[in-house]
Chain A
Amino acid sequence: MTEPQNSIASDTDSPTGLDRRSVLRCGAWMGAGVLWSVSGGVPYSLGLLGEAEAATAAVAGPTFIQFSDSHIGFDKPANPNALGTLTEALGKVGAMKNKPGFIIHTGDITHLSKPQQFDDAKQSFGATRIKTFYIPGEHDLVDADQGKAYLERYGKGTKGAGYYSFDQHGIHYIGLVNVVDLKAGGLGNLGDEQIAWLANDLKHRRSSQPIVVFAHIPLWVVYADWGWGTDDGAKALALLQRFGSVTVLNGHIHQIIQKVEGNITFHTARSTAFPQPTPGSAPAPGPQLVPAEQLRDYLGITSVTIKRGNKALALTDRELSQI
C-alpha cells in the first residue's frame, strides 16, 4: 500500500518492466554525486563520468544519483566556493547523454538556511532538468523558524519535518528526517511519530520489494563521539529487517563509509563542498582544510558494486580531479 506521499514522485514506473526482485546493486560516484543503477542482470562497476554513462546505457536500467552536503553558502578556507563545486558536479550530470531518472539529495543543501542559499539550490539543481528529491540536514533547519524555510520549499506532500516515501521502478524509496529535536549529548533522532509512520508505510509491502532509505545523518552508528549516528536508528532498521534488499543512503560525514549487515547495505556519501576528517583522526569533525589544488581529490569519485546473493561489496575510489 502506498502512502499519499507518492504524489511527490514525478516519474512513472519503467516501461522496461524490471521485476520487483531487482536488487539495487550497483553505483558509482560521478563528480561528487553517486550514480546508482537498478537491474536484475550482472553486476557492473561503474567508474568515471564517461565510463559511468556508457555503463548506464549497457545496464539499460533506471538510475539515480545521490548528492549530499552541498552546503550552499559555505565560503570558508576549506572551499571558498561551495556553490561552484556543486555547479561543477551538476554540470557533469546535466551533460550526460543518458541522464539519471532522478536525483536524491541527502541533506545540508544549504549552509545556513538563508533564502538566497535555497534559491541558489533551486536554480542549480533546476538547471539539470532532473527531478530531485530532498530531505533536510541540520543546516537546512537553522532559520529563525527552525525549518519553515525548508518546508516552504520542499515540504509539499511530506509529513512532520519533511519525511515521505514514493515508488519508482518497483522500488520503494523512503526519505527520513533525523535532524530534528536532537537531544543533548545524543545522536541523530527520528522520533516516535516518524517511526510509527514508517511502520505503517511498510506494513502492507511485500518483503520482496527492494527498499531504499535515505536520511541525512547515518542511521547506523559510524562514530558516536562525533555524533555520527542516530539514537533510534535501530528501531527503523528493525522494521526493515524482513525485506530482502534494503539500501540506506546517508550524508553528513562527508566521506564514504560502507557496511553490509544482513540484507541491509549502508552507504554514506561525500560532500560536494568540503571533506571532513576520518573518524577519530582529528580533534573534532568539521571542514578539513586541504591544499586548494587537491580539493577535488577529496571530492573524488567512488564506484560501488554490491553483488547480489553473496553480499560481497566492492568499492573503487576515483578522484574528481581525474575526470
Chain B
Amino acid sequence: MFDFGRYPRLSLAVLLSLVAADIGVGLLIAASAWAATNQVKISNFTFGPNPITISPGDTVTWINGDDIPHNVRATGGGTWKCAVMDTDGTCDITFKVAGEFTYFCALHPKMTGKVIVKTDKTE
C-alpha cells in the first residue's frame, strides 16, 4: 500500500508520480501530470504565464482561450512554431536544452512571450 504519510506537503502531480513509481506502473501517468503544469493560456490576446519557466525536456502546451485564432512563432532566429490554433486549440512544443526562447503570435504580433528553460527552476 502507498504510504501518504511519507510524503507530506507534496503536490498532486508529485504524489501521482510517486504513486506511479511506488506501484510500478511506470512514468506515463507522472509525465502527463507534469505536462499539465506547463500550460500557457492565451486569453485576451495575452500569453500567460509569461515568461514560463520549465526544465529541459519539458513540454509547453499553448491553449487558445480566445474566440479568435492565434499561433506561436519563434523570434530571435528560432524556427520552432505552432500552427494556427482556433478557439480551444492546443499546441505542444518540447524544449530539450536550457536557454531563453522568445516567441510571438504572427497574426497579432503585439502578443509576445518567453519560455525559460532551466536545469534548476528554483534558481
The answer to whether the Cβ of B104 comes within 8 Å of any Cβ in the partner chain is: yes
The answer to whether the Cβ of A319 comes within 8 Å of any Cβ in the partner chain is: no
Contact status B84-A184, CB under 8 Å? no
Contact status B109-A286, CB under 8 Å? no
Q: In whole angstroms, how far apart are the Cα atoms of A182 and B87 in the complex?
A: 22
- Cβ-defined partner of A184 (8 Å) among B44, B67, B75, B83: B75
Q: In whole angstroms, how far apart are the Cα atoms of A133 and B71 in the complex?
A: 28
Chain A interface size, as a band, is: 20 to 34
Per-position binary interface string of chain B over residues 50-68, scored 1 when its CB falls under 8 Å from any chain A CB and 0 otherwise? 0000000000000000111
Contact status A144-B83, CB under 8 Å? yes
- Cβ-defined partner of B69 (8 Å) among A77, A142, A183, A184: A142
CB distance from B50 to the nearest CB of A (A): 13
Interface of B is mostly: loop
Q: In whole angstroms, how far apart are the Cα atoms of A183 and B74 in the complex?
A: 11
B-chain residues with CB within 8 Å of residue A187 when the two chains form the complex: 109
Q: In whole angstroms, how far apart are the Cα atoms of A285 and B45 in the complex?
A: 7
Number of interface residues of B (CB under 8 A): 22
Contact status A286-B104, CB under 8 Å? no
**Known contacts A76-B87, A142-B107; A184/B68 CB under 8 A:** no
Per-position binary interface string of chain A over residues 121-164, scored 1 when its CB falls under 8 Å from any chain B CB and 0 otherwise? 00000000000000000110010100000000000000000000
**Known contacts A183-B109, A185-B112; A286/B69 CB under 8 A:** no
A-chain residues with CB within 8 Å of residue B110 when the two chains form the complex: 185-186, 225-227
CB distance from B40 to the nearest CB of A (A): 16
The answer to whether the Cβ of A38 comes within 8 Å of any Cβ in the partner chain is: no
The answer to whether the Cβ of B96 comes within 8 Å of any Cβ in the partner chain is: no
Contact status A182-B106, CB under 8 Å? yes
CB distance from B47 to the nearest CB of A (A): 12
Q: In whole angstroms, how far apart are the Cα atoms of A78 and B68 in the complex?
A: 11
Q: In whole angstroms, how far apart are the Cα atoms of A138 and B112 in the complex?
A: 17
- Cβ-defined partner of B67 (8 Å) among A76, A227, A283: A76
A-chain residues with CB within 8 Å of residue B68 when the two chains form the complex: 286-287
Which single residue of chain A is at the shortest CB-CB distance from B108? A227
The answer to whether the Cβ of B39 comes within 8 Å of any Cβ in the partner chain is: no
A-chain residues with CB within 8 Å of residue B107 when the two chains form the complex: 138-139, 142, 182
Which single residue of chain A is at the shortest CB-CB distance from B44? A284
The answer to whether the Cβ of A112 comes within 8 Å of any Cβ in the partner chain is: yes
Which single residue of chain B is at the shortest CB-CB distance from A146? B106
Contact status B69-A283, CB under 8 Å? no
Which single residue of chain A is at the shortest CB-CB distance from B84? A142
Per-position binary interface string of chain A over residues 28-40, scored 1 when its CB falls under 8 Å from any chain B CB and 0 otherwise? 0000000000000
The answer to whether the Cβ of B102 comes within 8 Å of any Cβ in the partner chain is: yes
**Known contacts A112-B86, A142-B84, A284-B44; A186/B109 CB under 8 A:** yes
Contact status B112-A184, CB under 8 Å? yes
Q: In whole angstroms, how far apart are the Cα atoms of A222 and B112 in the complex?
A: 20
A-chain residues with CB within 8 Å of residue B66 when the two chains form the complex: 284, 286
A-chain residues with CB within 8 Å of residue B17 when the two chains form the complex: none
Q: In whole angstroms, how far apart are the Cα atoms of A287 and B66 in the complex?
A: 9
Q: In whole angstroms, how far apart are the Cα atoms of A284 and B46 in the complex?
A: 9
Q: In whole angstroms, how far apart are the Cα atoms of A111 and B45 in the complex?
A: 17
Residues of chain A in range 252-290 having any CB-CB distance to chain B below 8 Å: 283-287
Q: In whole angstroms, how far apart are the Cα atoms of A71 and B60 in the complex?
A: 30
Contact status B104-A184, CB under 8 Å? yes
Q: In whole angstroms, how far apart are the Cα atoms of A111 and B85 in the complex?
A: 12
Contact status B87-A142, CB under 8 Å? no
B-to-A contact residues, CB < 8 Å:
44-46, 66-69, 71, 75, 83-84, 86-87, 102-104, 106-110, 112
Per CB-CB distance, the 9 closest pairs between chain A and chain B, nearest first, are A184-B104, A284-B44, A284-B45, A76-B67, A142-B84, A182-B109, A227-B110, A184-B75, A283-B44
A-to-B contact residues, CB < 8 Å:
76-78, 111-112, 138-139, 142, 144, 182-187, 225-227, 283-287
Could you write out 21 A-B pairs with CB less than 8 Å apart?
A112-B69, A139-B69, A142-B71, A142-B84, A142-B107, A182-B109, A183-B109, A184-B75, A184-B102, A184-B104, A185-B112, A186-B109, A226-B45, A226-B110, A227-B108, A284-B45, A284-B46, A284-B66, A286-B66, A286-B67, A287-B68
